[in-house]
Amino acid sequence: MVRIQFQFCLLSISLLTLGLAANAARAADTPPNIHELAQRIDDRYDHLHSLQADFAETYTGPGMDRRESGTVWLKKPGKMLWEYRSPREKLFVSDGKTAWFYVPDEHQVQKTPVKKLDDLRSPFALLLGKTKLEKELQGLSLAADVHPVQAGDIMLRGVPKGLENQISEILLEATPDGRIERVIMVQADGAVTEYQFSNQKENVAVQDSKFRFSPPAGSEVVESGLGQ
């Protein structure tokens, strides 16, 4: 009798284990809710007043393959600084009104009002405090055909509102708790620009003076659209 009860307990445990494994498998196969993830991304960045991160930027286009890296700072409202260190120093900075692009080796500074700025980095300035992912990316959906760099991350796809003629689609890699780890911009001409972010620090203390720029003595200032 004791043996029968023991065997029954083992059978019950086995069935329970199989049931838990099946539930876990079903949960793993269940795609994340796109609306809930978009809301988590919105909530995360809407509550930030500043952000610092290391970035790796890759550009692939006709006859060109470029890789650069550095550090980016964002501050609400609309301030940003991209400090490139490799393979050469560059500076892209905006105080929310004027954007400057400076390459020390070229002794030239490009100056553009933010309202006329046509640059792939410019949307990042609006990330803090104004994030409404489902409004800004039309047709937002899961990009199940694109593998994330980090296991467990989720890939999203959409078309940026107002930039359809310039960018055919944007791919976002986000953590389940809504942190953006990678942004891929596919341009209308087929060129692809990718940003990967690491060492992200939220709400860091950063002075407004960091986003002001004065052209170095001897530099030529050109007022025009900004390139990359």
pLDDT in tens, 11-42: 343 433 344 444 433 334 566 789 999 999 99
Q: 77 lies in a domain?
A: yes
In a domain, 120, yes or no: yes
- Residue 23 in any domain: the answer is no
User: Which tens digits make up the pLDDT trace of 89-100?
Assistant: 999 999 999 999
**Within-domain flag for 56:** yes
Domain that holds residue 85: 34-223
In the chain, the number of structural domains is: 1
With CA atoms as reference, report the closest residue to 119 among 83, 93, 158, 138. Answer: 93
Question: Which of 162, 161, 164, 156 is closest to 181 using CA atoms?
Answer: 156
Which CATH number characterizes residue 97's domain? 2.50.20.10
Res 179 pLDDT > 80: yes
Q: 11 in a domain, yes or no?
A: no
Domain assignment present for residue 82? The answer is yes
Strand stretches in 21-89, DSSP E:
50-61, 64-75, 79-86
Cis peptide before 113 (omega within 30 of 0): no
Give the global pTM. Answer: 0.81
pLDDT of residue 44: 93
